[in-house]
Structure 1
Amino acid sequence: MPYLSVRVRVQLARAHLMLGDRAAAAHLLRECDDIMRIRSDLGTAGAQVEELRMGLAVEPMTGGSIPLTPAELRLLPYLQTHLTIAEIGKRLFVSRNTVSSQLGSIYRKLSATSRSQAVERADALGLLGD
C-alpha cells in the first residue's frame, strides 16, 4: 500500500518538524522518495511530499536525529540494566552480534560514545519510560 505508506510518513515528518527534529523529517522524506521511485502515480500523496520538501528547504538542517527502528527501541530499555550484550540477546531471542550491531546504531543515532551516555540521551529525549 504505497499510497498509505507515503501519507503516514508525510504526517510523521510534519510531526517531527513541529517538534523541531528536521533530520528525522528529512529521513522520512527520503523514505517517501524511495517509495515514489517504485510507484510514482500516488496522486495527492505526491503533492504532499513536494509540499513537505519545500517546507524542509525553507530552513537549514539543525539538530535532530534519525529515528530509531522498532528493534532498537526494544533494545533501549535493556541498556539501563546490568545485563551484558550476550544476556540481552538471550532475553530478546537474538544473537549477541545482532544486539551489538543494534547497539552501535543506537550510539550513532543518539551521538553517544558509551552505554551510560546513550541512556542519558534517550531519557532526555523521552524514549525511556519512567
Structure 2
Amino acid sequence: MTTTIVLVDDHPLVRQGLRAVLEDADGLEVVAEAADGHDGVRLCVEHRPDVVLMDLQMPALHGLDATREVRRTAPETAVLVLTMFDDDDTVFAGVAAGAAGYLLKGADGADIVAAVRAAAAGQAVFGAALAARMQSWFAARPVVDAPFPELTDRERDILDGVAAGLTNAEIGSRLFLSPKTVANNVTAILAKLQVAHRAEAIVRAREAGLGRSERCENRDASLRRPRRREHDGG
C-alpha cells in the first residue's frame, strides 16, 4: 500500500531533496508540493495525503497555523513538522497545534523515511533527545495557581502585554525583545492556548486577570494629563 505525502516548504531545494529521498523509498509517493502555508492546507484538503511534511517559517501562513488548519480540514492527514528550530517553545507549540511528530532539518534520509512511515501508522514521532526533553517538561510542570501554566514565563509576560492592548513593538520595548521575537512568541501562545486569533487570546487572558496593571497605568496616565483650559474669549 502506497503512503501519500504532501511537502510544504518555501525553499525549492529543500522540497527537491525531500522528494528525492522519499520517492527513493518503497511505498512512498509525493503527490504535491506547496511553497506556503495556505497552499499547503489547500493541497491537503484536495489530495487527502497520509502525511504532510510541514515547515514552520513560511510566508502567507505560518506553519503552526497551517498545522491547525490541516488538523481541522483534513484530520486523517498526519502532520510532521520539519524545521531548523528545536527550542522548547517551538517544539511544544507544534505539538499543541496537532503535529504528530517533529523532525529537524538535517535529519538523514533514513530517519525521515522512518518518521513518515511511523506517522502514517498513527505513531507519534520524535527524536530521542526531543522525546526526553518533552518527558522532563511534563514531569516538571508545576502545580500552581498562575494562569496558563502551559506557557513559559516569557510567554505569560507577552500575553499580559497582548491583553493590555499593546502592539508587538510596544511589548518588545517593555521586555527588551525584538518585535519579531514577540511575534514568534505570540504565534506559540495562540497554539498553546488553542485559539485561532489574537482577539480570542485577549479575551481568555483578561478573564484570567492578565493585562490589568498596564490598562490601569494607561488609564491613570490619561487622568493625570492636564486638561486644556478653555479661553473665555473676553
Bigger radius of gyration among the two: 2
* Shorter-chain TM band: 0.3 to 0.5
Specify which structure has the higher proportion of helix.
Answer: 1
Specify which structure has the higher proportion of strand.
Answer: 2
Normalising by the residue count of structure 2, what TM-score does the alignment of the two structures yield?
0.27
